[in-house]
Amino acid sequence: MTSRETAVACASSRYMIQDLRNQRFPLHDQEHRRGLRVTSFDTNNEAFITVDNSGRATVRRVDTLEEVCRIHTRRSNVMGCMNLGYALMCAGGVVRVWEIEQGQYLYSMNENIGDVKTMVADDRYVAAVGGDTTIHLWDFGAQ
């Protein structure tokens, strides 16, 4: 869901953007030839991020599909999420943080959390569940 009354959905081969006020036709329905990692798909108020099967993340604006930035995670097995201005990707047990306007890598979280089953972020917190069912929580606002 976005602040523009739209919903963005992702499957392994495509993404779609739906206007919630007029649901007859999708605003955008895009096929992706490299395939998408659904576990790394997320939205914020104005943008969404997809990660293809080669580990390349792309942030796009919801209304125009304009590419904001590309992030090379260098891993095909990535779990990710985003908040207002940052993309957070976990691969190999390490959560890495990128600024999404320029796609600049910023830093890695100081904790190796192993295999990640799910990840979510809001403006302040980042939470991830590891393979051992431990919930890891970081106060992202304090970073």
Reported as a single tens digit per residue, the pLDDT across 34-93 is 889 888 899 888 899 999 988 889 999 998 999 999 998 877 678 889 988 899 999 888
N-to-C CA span, the chain: 26
Task: Please indicate, yes or no, if residue 134 is contained in any of the structural domains.
Answer: no
Mapped onto helix, strand or coil, the DSSP state of residue 100 is coil
3-state helix, strand, coil in the chain (%, to 5): 5, 50, 45
Cα(27)–Cα(18) distance, integer angstroms: 5
Provide the domain count of the chain: 1
pLDDT confidence bin for 10, thresholds 50/70/90:
very high
Do residues 71 and 56 lie in contact, with contact meaning Cβ atoms separated by under 8 Å? Answer: yes
> Domain for residue 43, yes or no?
yes
- 98 occurs within a structural domain: yes
What is the pLDDT confidence band of residue 114, given thresholds at 50, 70 and 90?
confident
Please tell me the pTM assigned to this model. 0.85
Domain housing 79:
6-116
pLDDT of 119 strictly over 60: yes
CATH number for the domain spanning 12: value is 2.40.128.630
Strand-pairing partners, residue 121, are: 126
Contact present, 86 and 97 (Cβ < 8 Å): yes
> What pLDDT shows up at residue 16?
92
Instruction: With respect to residue 130, please indicate whether it lies within any of the assigned structural domains.
Output: no
Structure tokens given for 88: 């957070």
Distance CA 38, CA 13 (A): 9
- Asked, for residue 21, whether it belongs to a domain, the answer is yes
Tokens describing residue 84: 């207002």
Using the 8-state DSSP alphabet, how is residue 85 labeled?
S
Q: Read off φ and ψ for residue 9, nearest 5 degrees.
A: -125, 155
CA 24 and chain centroid, separation: 27
Confidence at 142, pLDDT banded by 50, 70, 90: low
